[in-house]
């Protein structure tokens, strides 16, 4: 039987609305700190352009036919907001593995699924005039040095084990770079998706005064986590979203990042 064009259009629209209705609106929270190129702006307001990560999260929601509600929170409140049910998803790193009330994608062996994650490299920036070799081991470099990190960053523990003196006084990426330029810290250590993501930003603003060491402080992954309660209530929906990360998601993220890192 052939459908008339009008009838087919109505049925397709009805099906699309049913998908959206089944998913509804997901609530995603992310840091309220200016962290270019990922999260742009400070405070509760979502600016435009919002950042590569925000654009990516919007596509993440759309991949499951979901609407999305964005919330910006202090970094130390993100996980508690997730566990309490105030939001449905937040970005996390490996330190969330095993944390009560938080669920990340897992592989067939029950381990954190790196296929449905994004890469994470933690890199160190220093002043060019200090003369550090670019290929210096950052673990060696930070020993006894005052090192700036993003407030609430989980990798600070590893830096302290390497002998660094932590400085978490500057809440944003630009303010940490300013402290480095002014000599208030000896290095700024920051997580990124790819090691080169801040190269153009630093080159444009600091004209060679600040440089990135080539070796990462550490390599890991980021996940989009949900809560135990939300996952139990929406398992199929969440798995659909996570599966997108393992197929088209990372390709799309790389393309979106180019808008912010190459222009």
Domain boundaries, position 215: 118-220
Instruction: Please check whether residues 96 and 34 belong to one and the same domain.
Output: yes
What gap in Å lies between CA 162 and CA 55, rounded to an integer?
36
Are residues 103 and 149 both part of a single domain? Answer: no
Is residue 118 a contact partner of residue 222, using CB atoms and an 8 Å limit? yes
Measuring CA to CA, which residue among 116, 59, 69 is closest to residue 89? 69
**Does residue 216 share a domain with residue 97?**
no
What CA–CA distance (Å, rounded) separates 129 from 131?
Answer: 5
Tens-digit pLDDT string for the chain (263 aa): 444 443 433 333 333 344 444 689 999 999 999 999 999 999 999 999 999 999 999 999 999 999 999 999 999 999 999 999 999 999 999 999 999 999 999 999 999 999 999 999 999 999 999 999 999 999 899 999 999 999 888 898 889 999 999 998 788 999 999 999 999 999 999 999 999 999 999 999 999 999 999 999 999 999 999 999 999 999 999 999 999 999 999 999 999 999 999 87
Where residue 205 falls (left for φ over 0; alpha for ψ -120 to 50; beta otherwise) is alpha
The CATH number for 39's domain is 3.40.190.10
Assess whether 192 and 238 both reside in one domain: no
Task: Please tell me whether residues 139 and 228 are part of one structural domain.
Answer: no
Reported pTM? 0.88
DSSP bridge pairs for 261: none
Beta bridge partners of 102: 227
Q: Which of 57, 41, 30, 28 is nearest to 173 (CA)?
A: 41
Shared-domain flag, residues 209 and 245? no
Count of domains forming the chain: 2
């Amino acid at each position: 039987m052939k459908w008339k064009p009008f009838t087919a259009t109505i049925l397709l629209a009805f099906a699309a609305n049913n998908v959206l209705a089944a998913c509804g609106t997901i609530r995603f929270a992310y840091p309220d700190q200016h962290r270019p190129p990922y999260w742009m702006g400070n405070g509760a307001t979502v600016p435009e352009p919002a950042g590569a990560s925000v654009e990516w999260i919007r596509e993440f929601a759309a991949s499951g036919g979901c609407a999305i509600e964005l919330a910006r929170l202090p970094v130390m409140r993100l996980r508690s907001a997730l566990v309490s049910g105030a939001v449905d998803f937040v970005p996390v790193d490996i330190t969330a593995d095993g944390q009560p009330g938080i669920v990340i994608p897992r592989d067939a062996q029950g381990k954190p699924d790196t296929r449905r994650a994004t890469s994470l490299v933690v890199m160190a920036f220093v002043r060019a005039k200090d003369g550090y070799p670019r290929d210096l081991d950052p673990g060696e470099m930070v020993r006894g040095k005052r090192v700036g990190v993003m407030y609430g960053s989980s990798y600070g523990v590893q830096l302290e084990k390497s002998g660094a003196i932590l400085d978490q006084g500057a809440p944003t990426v630009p303010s940490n770079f300013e402290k480095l330029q002014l000599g208030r810290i000896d290095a700024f250590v920051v997580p990124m998706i790819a090691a080169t993501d801040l190269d153009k930003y630093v080159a444009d603003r600091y004209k060679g005064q600040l440089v990135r060491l080539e070796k990462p402080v550490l390599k890991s992954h980021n996940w989009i986590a949900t809560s135990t309660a939300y996952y139990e209530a929406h398992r199929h929906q969440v798995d659909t979203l996570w599966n997108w990360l393992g197929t088209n998601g990372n390709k799309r993220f790389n393309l979106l990042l180019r808008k912010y890192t190459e222009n």
